[in-house]
């Protein structure tokens, strides 16, 4: 992994995030890919955890953030979302590191969104809140990713100032097969909206799911129904086409 970081074997794909009408690409999520010199194309589920354990996530995370900011400069008006691992966020100087990269790349802070997950395992809520506020005061937005998949989501909403909730794919994938799933999505949207947050549904694959989610009041869609993750040049041509 260390060698791959030097050799440029990591790259980013971007998955479009679409408005509630299902028409316009308003954002993209950066998703990391590793072309392993021996094993070939390797998904993040096989390397993010290892990067966390070994501490290499710091270096990988900075690469991802810098590359996403550089690419986003070519996409006027589009918000770029970047996943942040728990270990990265725990770094004392995480907000400063993000602001430094924004300064160096020249991306307006309001075009960056950071995604934190429920697995954050926040020990010190006051400290986490302070870090979030430093970034938000500069215009950076912060989303709670995979909402509903962990067990801390609701307690985080009590004390941490998220701008957005991303409904976990698990709920979306069960919309048609489980009435409980539909009820839970309605509840998540109600909570999010009442707290003044935007809601994104991830893993939207079918027209039926899109229709249900729109009716439920979801603001943004992400999923294979609209697009798989694609490379930066493809995002540019789609923007030019729209």
Binding stretches for Mg ion (CB under 5 A): 83, 115, 145-146, 166, 202
Render the burial of 153-164: b for 16+ CB within 10 Å, e for the rest. Answer: beebbeebebbb
Rounded CA gap, 141 and 81, in Å?
9
> At 179, is the secondary structure helix, strand, or coil?
helix
> Could you tell me which stretch among 81-89, 191-199, 212-220, 232-240 binds ligand C2E (CB under 6 A)?
81-89
User: Is the CB of 111 or the CB of 227 nearer to ligand C2E?
Assistant: 227
Number of residues that bind ligand C2E (CB under 6 A): 23
Q: Of residues 72, 116, 146, 213, which one binds ligand C2E by CB under 6 A? A: 146
Does 43 bind ligand C2E (CB under 6 A)? Our answer is yes
Considering only CA atoms, which of 93, 145, 152, 96 is closest in space to residue 125? Answer: 152
Pattern of binders to ligand C2E over 190-209, x per CB under 6 A? ------------xxxx----
User: Is the CB of 75 or the CB of 147 nearer to Mg ion?
Assistant: 147
Q: What contacts 21, CB < 8 A, 6 or more positions away?
A: none
Q: Of residues 5, 26, 48, 70, which one binds ligand C2E by CB under 6 A? A: 48
Q: Where are the beta strands (DSSP E) in 120-197?
A: 141-147, 164-167
């Amino acid at each position: 992994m260390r060698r791959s970081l030097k050799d440029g074997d990591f790259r980013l794909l971007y998955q479009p995030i679409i408005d509630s009408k299902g028409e316009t690409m308003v954002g993209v999520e950066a998703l990391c890919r590793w072309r392993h010199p021996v094993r070939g194309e390797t998904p993040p589920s096989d390397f993010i955890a290892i990067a966390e354990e070994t501490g290499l996530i710091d270096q990988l995370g900075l690469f991802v953030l810098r590359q996403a900011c550089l690419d986003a400069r070519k996409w006027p008006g589009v918000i770029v979302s970047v996943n942040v691992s728990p270990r990265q966020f725990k770094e004392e100087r995480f907000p400063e590191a993000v602001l430094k990269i924004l300064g160096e790349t020249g991306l307006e802070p309001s075009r960056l969104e950071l995604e934190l997950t429920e697995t954050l395992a926040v020990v010190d809520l006051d400290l986490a809140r302070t870090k979030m506020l430093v970034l938000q005061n500069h215009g950076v937005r912060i989303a709670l990713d995979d909402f509903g998949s962990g067990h801390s989501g609701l307690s985080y909403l009590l004390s941490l100032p998220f701008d957005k909730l991303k409904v976990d794919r698990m709920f979306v994938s069960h919309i048609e097969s489980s009435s409980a799933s539909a009820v839970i999505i309605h509840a998540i949207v109600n909570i999010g909206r009442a707290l003044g947050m935007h809601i994104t549904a991830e893993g939207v694959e079918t027209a039926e799911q899109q229709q249900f989610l729109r009716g439920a009041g979801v603001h943004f869609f992400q999923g294979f129904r609209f697009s798989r993750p694609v490379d930066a040049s493809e995002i540019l041509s789609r923007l030019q086409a729209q």
